[in-house]
Chains A and B, each alone.
Chain A
Amino acid sequence: MFLRRLLTRIATTLVTLLGVAVIVFAVIRIVPGDPVAMMLPPGATEADIARLNAFYGLDKSIPEQFFIWLGGVVQGDFGTSITTRQPVLGLVLSRLPATLELSVMALVIAVVLGGLVALTGTRLRYTRTEGALDVANGMALSVPDFLWGLVLILLFGVLWPVFTISGRVSPNLVPEFATSFFLFESVLRLRFDLWLDLVQHMLMPALALAIPLAAIIGQLLKQSLKETMHLDYVTLARTKGYSENHVILREALRNAVLPTLTLIGVQFTFLIGGTVIIERLFSYEGLGNMAIDAVINRDLPLIQGIVLLFALLFTLVNLAVDLLYAVLNPRLRHA
């Protein structure tokens, strides 16, 4: 039963990814802009251009190009970046950890902030504090992540420069690690100086990504907590002598989290999408920043590789949410 569900899931994921690949492949070839012409110095001959076009397979028809590309992908070859002349897979994988670390950090901040807002709002419901929190939450919600990025740069980069707002790590600290998960590996290697430097770089972009999501989580979780607080089992727990805090945390929270969880999944994929602009804004060397360069340079193979990876990430996030939902909901676990 579980196996069948998993297989169906994998199959739909593959179809989705294929669809994404087809669309991206077609779109980036239809929009104007010739990658080869952009790469060559002015005054290159027709012959030069033709030679490079042939080298990258751009002289063939789009369907032909697609099947050649797909044939490579199946064997783990995502082609060669036009601008850097390096294998796309290697490039993309070298940047992926930076983006993952940033996204996960943003998610953690969002969940903690949003959770605190919801719990405080529930604990202090019907008071003025609740109203104030609601207003603040609404403001956080109505400003998109990149504007928060600009605000944070102005505040903590310019007016009161306590955080580094550019790059991923200080140049003198760039580590020689086995993976590019610097934040993670620096903890394993007990390099706390490096860890602190990474966090300092990451905090502002992560916060910019996190604030809108925190607001959404805060709003939905509070709504759902307030509804749960009226349920009979919560009332029954009160008669047992339990305090308001206890009742919120042990009786209501776990049931209230379920509807929020699905939303976090969807929103987290938006957040990952948001890294593209935020990384650019903070010159953070991640996948998103690389994606913008790739688009500017019409680096077709690289764009395809990045988009496919993003799509894969999104589906994995959704899968993780489904699994977590099943774990948290006893009704599904036993079904």
Chain B
Amino acid sequence: MSFLKIRDLSVILRGTNHRLLRGVSLDVGATEVMGLVGESGAGKSMIGKAVLGILPRSARIVGGSIELDGVDLLTLPPRQRRHLIGQKAALIPQDPLTALNPARRIGPQISDRLVDILGWDKARARARAEEILHDVHIPQPDRVLRAYPHELSGGMRQRVLIASAFAAEPRLIVADEPTTALDVTVQKQILKLIFEMQARHGTALLFVTHDLGVVSKICQRLTVLYGGLVMEEAEVGAFFEAPRHAYSRALLAATPRHTDPTADLTPVPEAVIAEARRAVAEADQRWHA
């Protein structure tokens, strides 16, 4: 059974009838890693934000459902929705430099949810914060708990954010390009850490990325998005052997291979883009009808 179940989700740009997400359906199993790929502007982040209830004001959900653990978030009153998301889901953000509050110490930024939302007592939450920092391989966790964000490097901060995401044992984690803001030298370590933690905790993971290479190694399934429309949803093994959709094939051809980074890349052909656009237009026509 899927832990996250999105059905026919449509999001518009407020004040227009322009859709940013065009009837997206997507499932993430209870311990599954789902890759979400597509070119820039395809709507990958929008999906993650919709799930976590942090869509920008300019975006508005106009249809569909988002079920988390069998409960439709969109029918819940705001307070309950927030609580449910805070209890069952967590975000690993893209940019560790801006995702920690510069005026607060690290410790409370990890343990606050445990105390305020999950109702743990302070001592237990603190102990948990220290333990989870240890789990993400941060040396001297007690010192880091007392530090302010600016005292830590970017890689360390991302470790802190990963720890913070896993601290409350969420059932689903949304990671939105969690390494693109990092130094190349630490990107690999951080990726490895995320999947190590995911495997250990058995968390469902919605992994937003541009990198099909990473998807092929880590994810069980993937969803290809174009213009807010799902182009293809497939098992990773099958997908990399033979993508069904022309757009997916083109995307794959346009992605550097880890095995042979020097091989020529084929940009997505005009004809394929035209076909994808047609699919988008058809979806819109059906929707507006």
Q: Which residues of A contact B52 (CB under 8 A)?
A: 238-239
| Minimum distance in angstroms from B95 CB to a CB of chain A | 6
Instruction: Assess the A232–B117 pair: CB atoms within 8 A.
Output: no
Map CB proximity to B onto A221-255 as digits: 1 under 8 Å, 0 otherwise. Answer: 00000000001110111111111001000010011
A330 interface residue (CB < 8 Å to B): yes
Contacts of A329 in B (CB 8 A): 103
Count B interface residues, CB 8 Å.
31
Question: How many angstroms from the CA of A233 to the CA of B113 in the assembled complex?
Answer: 14
Is A189 part of the binding interface, using a Cβ–Cβ cutoff of 8 Å? no
The docked-state distance in angstroms from the alpha carbon of A241 to that of B113 is 8
* CB-contact partner of B82 in A233, A235, A241, under 8 A: A241
Binary CB contact string for chain A from 25 to 39 against chain B (1 if under 8 A, 0 otherwise): 000000000000000
Q: Across the interface, which residues of A come within 8 angstroms of B94, CB to CB?
A: 232
Cβ–Cβ < 8 Å partners of B148 in chain A: 330-331, 334
Interface stretch of the complex, out of B34-42, B83-91, B122-130, B210-218: B83-91
Q: Say if the beta carbon of B150 comes within 8 Å of chain A.
A: yes
The contact string, 1 if C-beta is below 8 Å from chain A, for chain B 86-121, is 110111011100111111100000001100110000
Contact assessment for A235 and B116 in the assembled complex, using a CB-CB cutoff below 8 Å: no
Instruction: A233-B98, A330-B148 are known; give 19 further A-B pairs, CB within 8 A.
Output: A231-B98, A232-B93, A233-B100, A233-B101, A233-B102, A235-B93, A236-B161, A238-B54, A241-B85, A241-B86, A241-B87, A241-B113, A241-B116, A242-B116, A251-B101, A254-B103, A328-B103, A334-B148, A334-B150
Q: Is the CB of B103 within 8 A of A241?
A: no
Interface, chain B (partner A; CB < 8 A): 52-54, 57, 79, 82-83, 85-87, 89-91, 93-95, 98-104, 112-113, 116-117, 148, 150-151, 161
Contact in complex: B103, A240 (CB < 8 Å): no
A232 touches B54 (CB 8 A): no
Smallest CB-CB A-B distances: 7 pairs: A241-B86, A241-B117, A232-B98, A240-B113, A232-B99, A233-B101, A330-B148
In the complex, A160 has a CB within 8 A of chain B: no
Q: How far is the CB of A314 from chain B (nearest CB, A)?
A: 28
Interface residues of A in 176-234 (CB under 8 A from B): 231-233
Is B103 a contact of A330 with CB atoms below 8 Å?
Answer: yes
Looking across the interface, which residue of chain B has its beta carbon closest to that of A329?
A: B103
A239-B85 CB under 8 A given contacts A330-B150, A334-B151: yes
Within 158-181 of A, Cβ neighbours of B (below 8 Å) are at none
Determine whether the beta carbon of A243 is less than 8 Å from that of B150. Answer: no
Distance A231 CA – B52 CA, assembled complex (angstroms): 16
What is the 8 Å Cβ interface bit string for chain A, positions 298-335, against chain B (1 contact, 0 not)?
A: 00000000000000000000000000000011110010
Q: Which of B99, B103, B151 contacts A236 (CB 8 A)?
A: B99
In the bound complex, CA of A214 to CA of B246 (Å): 62
Residues of B within 8 A of A334 (CB): 148, 150-151
CA distance A328 to B89 in the complex (A): 32
Q: A residues near B, CB below 8 A?
A: 126, 231-233, 235-243, 246, 251, 254-255, 328-331, 334
29 contacts between A and B (CB under 8 A): A231-B98, A232-B93, A232-B94, A232-B98, A233-B99, A233-B101, A235-B93, A236-B91, A236-B93, A236-B161, A238-B52, A238-B53, A239-B53, A239-B91, A240-B86, A240-B90, A240-B112, A241-B86, A241-B87, A241-B116, A242-B82, A242-B86, A242-B116, A242-B117, A246-B116, A255-B102, A330-B103, A330-B150, A334-B148
Question: How distant is the Cα of A231 from the Cα of B102 in the complex, in angstroms?
Answer: 11
A193–chain B nearest beta-carbon distance, Å: 43
- Which A residues touch B161, using CB under 8 A? 236
Name the residue of chain B whose CB is nearest to the CB of A252. B101
Asked if A239 contacts B112 (CB within 8 A), the reply is no
A residues near B95, Cβ cutoff 8 Å: 232
A58 CB to nearest B CB, Å: 57
Closest CB in chain A relative to B202 CB, distance in Å: 20
Residues of the A chain whose Cβ atoms lie less than 8 Å from the Cβ of B102: 233, 255, 330-331
Query: Which residues of B are found within 8 Å of A235, using beta-carbon distances?
Result: 54, 93
State the CA gap A329–B85 with chains docked (Å). Answer: 32
Question: How many angstroms from the CA of A231 to the CA of B98 in the assembled complex?
Answer: 7
Across the interface, do A255 and B82 meet the contact criterion of CB distance under 8 Å? no
A236: chain B residues at CB < 8 Å are 91, 93, 99, 161
Q: How far is the CA of A279 from the CA of B152 in the complex (A)?
A: 52
Separation in Å of the A238 CB from the closest CB of chain B?
A: 5
Q: When chains A and B are docked, how far (Å) is the Cα of A233 from the Cα of B54? A: 12
Give CA–CA (A116, B82) in the complex, Å. 26
CB distance from A334 to the nearest CB of B (A): 7
**Which residues of the partner chain A approach B117 to less than 8 Å between Cβ atoms?**
240-242
Distance between B255 CB and nearest chain A CB, rounded to angstroms: 28
Known A232-B95, A236-B91, A330-B148; judge A255-B101 contact (CB<8 A).
yes
